[in-house]
Each structure stands twice: as C-alpha cells, then as structure tokens.
Amino acid sequence: MVQYDALIIGGGPAGLSCALSLLKHGIRPRIIERRPNRANIQKATGVAQGVWYQLAEFGITEKLIGDAFPMRQFVFHDNDRLVAHLHVPPVNGSAPAHLVPQHRLELALEQALADQGVHVDYGCRFESLESKADKAFVTVRINEAETEVIEASWVIAADGGHSDVRTFLGMQFLGHDYPEQWSVAEIRTNLWPAEVQAQLFLQSNGVGLFLSQPSHGTVQGILNARHVSARLKERFPDAVIDYERDFKVSLRRVETSRSGRVWFIGDAAHVQSPVGGQGLNLAIWDGVTLGAALARNDLSVEHRLNKRAKAVLRFTDFDYWMLCTKSPVIRHARNLYWSLAQRFPVMAGWFFRLISGVW
C-alpha cells in the first residue's frame, strides 16, 4: 500500500490550492477527483486581492492577472432607478478584486501542479475511511470499477458543498437553506458597458439580479429566482445564452474544520450566498493556509480556519439580506448609503476591504 503524508479529496479550487501549498512547503500530496476530467462549469467570477497575494507564491498571479478585469466601477439600480455609479475605492492602492472565470483559474492551478509532477487522479471517488490515531485508510473507487485503499497521515476533504467525506463521518452542516430557487446563466453580448465590471438590479419585491463580466463579450447573471436568462434577454437584446441552471443557496458550515485525521476546507466546510463573491476566495484561502500549517505541524490552524469561515459567512449573510430585503425602511437606508458612497467613495471603504479579503 502506498503511503502519503496528505491525501486531498476533490480537485476544485480548495483542493488544488492546498496541494500547491503543501508542495511549496515540501510535502508531496496525492489529489483525487471524482469527475473523469475538469468540468467547464462556470461559477465564480471574482478573485479577491488577498487571494492574488496568496497565489503569487505559485506564479499564478503573474500568469493570470494581466488578462483579468480590475474591479473599478460598480453600478447599482433599485426598481430600475440608478442609485449609484460607484468608482470603487482602491484597497492598499489597487483594486479589491479582479474578475476572471473560475475555470481559467482552476486550469492555471492544475497546470502549476503538473509542472511539479503532481497530477490530479481523475475518475477516482472517495468511498469510505477508517481513522486511526496517527493515520487514516481511505477507500477510493477508480473509474467506477476497482477499489484502492490509500494510507495517509492527513486526509483533506475538499469535495465541495455536498461533501461525501462529511456525510460519511456524519458531521453536521450547521445553518439553513435560503428560501428561494436561484438561477445562473452566462450570455454572449456586445452591449456590456466596457468601463463597468459589475451591475446590481434590485427590486422592491426582493428579487435581485447580479451581473458581472468575467471575460470580454461574456456576462454572467445570477438571480435569486428562476429564469435569469429571460431577464438577461430583456437587458441585452443581442444575448446568446451559453447556459442556464438553477441552484439552491444555503448558509452552512461545519462546527469545526477538523475531525481526527480529517480536515475540511472550501465548500466542504462552508457554503454561502454567491452574491458576496466569497466562496471561491475562502476556498483558496483555506487551501493555502492549511497546506502551509500542516507542513509546519501547526494544528492551531483549526482555530484560524473556523474564525475566518464564521466572519465570511456573517458578511455574505448580511449581503444576502441587503439584496433580498422587502422592507421599505431598510431599502431606503441601503440606497441612501450607496448614493452617499458614490459621492464619497471612502464611505464604502469597509465594504470593499471585506471584498478584498485583506483583513
């Protein structure tokens, strides 16, 4: 049986960044992924400044940031009335986030691993594990055929919001589901205003449309209701729909990121509304932070992972309620705040500092 210091389950952003971080600190991990190949499913579009700093150690920032769009202008409407067209205040002298498609980022992370001889084991699915005092034995199924038992000192569950590892261990995923059915779509259009990176269209009935431009000619729309593509077609008559799908949104987290020899990172450890743009960023922060700490045998990282997750979830929940509120009083206060922030961008400094992840 081959032994590893670390076995990572899940080849998404959390797993890939943890693998890079472990490698950087001298630990060669094994990384398995259930899918047969890298799926081209578009999810996140915003990468925070703090994450760009972390990814710089692996040469990723240098490769990607030149083609990413710095978050400089943000437009906010309520019932189709312009509330604010904001020039986003810089954080530490630069944009709080840059837009880049998640798929492109994942490919860059995977390539950086491959350059160092670590390849994602595709078609390899976690099935079960047995934890001992100083190691774990993980059974995986390969190509839905034979099984293999892998011995590892640490197991890192980075297997997403529906984590099989979390379910197998019977860990609670504390929190709640938000009530609405959400939808996301991506379109091609020539009508996006080039100088703007994100637009928000809110309504008094609590339905909000969030738009961003992850790459030239492509717009992603997220709606806290079904049929986002119909809304996109209203706004962009030339829209060609690339895809549309529905999804549920929850606010949940594991009570603590470690259970014996197993660590939980990324969506396996916490899920939240996509509107705060924090899921991918927290997944990468978790991965890089855990990798560096395990290499130093610094188990106090458990506390730091928990603390950050709690803070980020509080922020995204606040964002969710600001987006979905039907209360005329809160809407009025929210709109007043953003129209003042347009005139005095420094007022929005705390918000964009949180978005930047540098705290």
Ligand X SMILES: Cc1cc2nc3c(=O)[nH]c(=O)nc-3n(C[C@H](O)[C@H](O)[C@H](O)COP(=O)(O)OP(=O)(O)OC[C@H]3O[C@@H](n4cnc5c(N)ncnc54)[C@H](O)[C@@H]3O)c2cc1C
Q: Which residues bind ligand X (CB under 6 A)?
A: 9-15, 32-35, 43-46, 102, 125-126, 158-160, 164, 184, 222, 247, 266-267, 274, 277-281, 283
| Residue 59: CB minimum distance to ligand X, A | 20
Kind plus residue range of the DSSP H or E element containing 222: strand 218-223
| Residue 17: CB minimum distance to ligand X, A | 8
Which of residues 335 and 351 has its CB atom nearest to ligand X in the complex?
Answer: 351
| Residue 245: CB minimum distance to ligand X, A | 8
- Give alpha helix (H) positions in the chain: 13-24, 49-56, 60-64, 102-115, 164-169, 228-235, 279-295, 301-324, 328-343, 349-356
| Residue 277: CB minimum distance to ligand X, A | 4
Which of residues 136 and 184 has its CB atom nearest to ligand X in the complex?
Answer: 184
The vertex-304 CA angle with 274 and 354, nearest 5°, equals 40
Distances (CA, A) of 204 to 78, 79, 267: 7, 7, 31
* Two structure tokens written together for 138: 């993980």
| Residue 41: CB minimum distance to ligand X, A | 8
The vertex-131 CA angle with 130 and 132, nearest 5°, equals 125
β-strands 174-188, 46-48 pairing? unpaired
Which of residues 46 and 50 has its CB atom nearest to ligand X in the complex?
Answer: 46
| Residue 85: CB minimum distance to ligand X, A | 21
Residues 87 and 128: their CA atoms lie apart, in Å, by 50
Number of H helices, E strands in the chain: 10, 19
Which of residues 121 and 302 has its CB atom nearest to ligand X in the complex?
Answer: 121
- Going by C-alpha positions, the residue among 142, 171, 89 that lies closest to residue 355 is 89
Which of residues 183 and 342 has its CB atom nearest to ligand X in the complex?
Answer: 183
Which of residues 331 and 352 has its CB atom nearest to ligand X in the complex?
Answer: 352
